[in-house]
Amino acid sequence: LEAFSYSSSLLYPAPSSCSGLGPPPPPPPPPPPPVAPGTVPPPATPPEQVACLLLLLSPGPEQHPPIPPPQPTPPDSSARPPDTHAIP
């Protein structure tokens, strides 16, 4: 919690390789403790940096799900003519 509050106070002035893609990632965590022989060491790259690199490598809108088409307005039973000028 302390590291989070400290990094949140430095969100905007802190330089980041993800400038323009939202808030920069928090500072890297302290180095992990020595790993016992026979165990898999933790990844050296923090997950925030991996997500940042994925954002930088993604081609863009093609990765996002398609925007659903606007729902057709139900037929108006009143005699009011359709206001076509109000459609964006």
Q: Exposed, middle or buried: residue 63 (CB in 10 Å: 0-12, 13-18, 19+)? A: exposed
Structure tokens at 20: 């323009």
pLDDT at 36: 64
Check pLDDT > 60 for residue 68: yes
What b-and-e string marks burial along 16-51, b requiring 16 or more CB atoms within 10 Å of the CB? Answer: eebeeeeebbbeeeeeeeeeeeeeeeeeeeeeebee
Q: Global pTM? A: 0.16
The residues, any chain, with a CB within 8 Å of residue 29's CB and separated by 6 or more, are 3, 46
Residue-wise pLDDT for 22-41, tens only, equals 555 666 666 666 666 676 65
Give the DSSP letter of residue 11: T
Identify whether the C-beta of residue 25 lies closer than 8 Å to the C-beta of residue 54: no
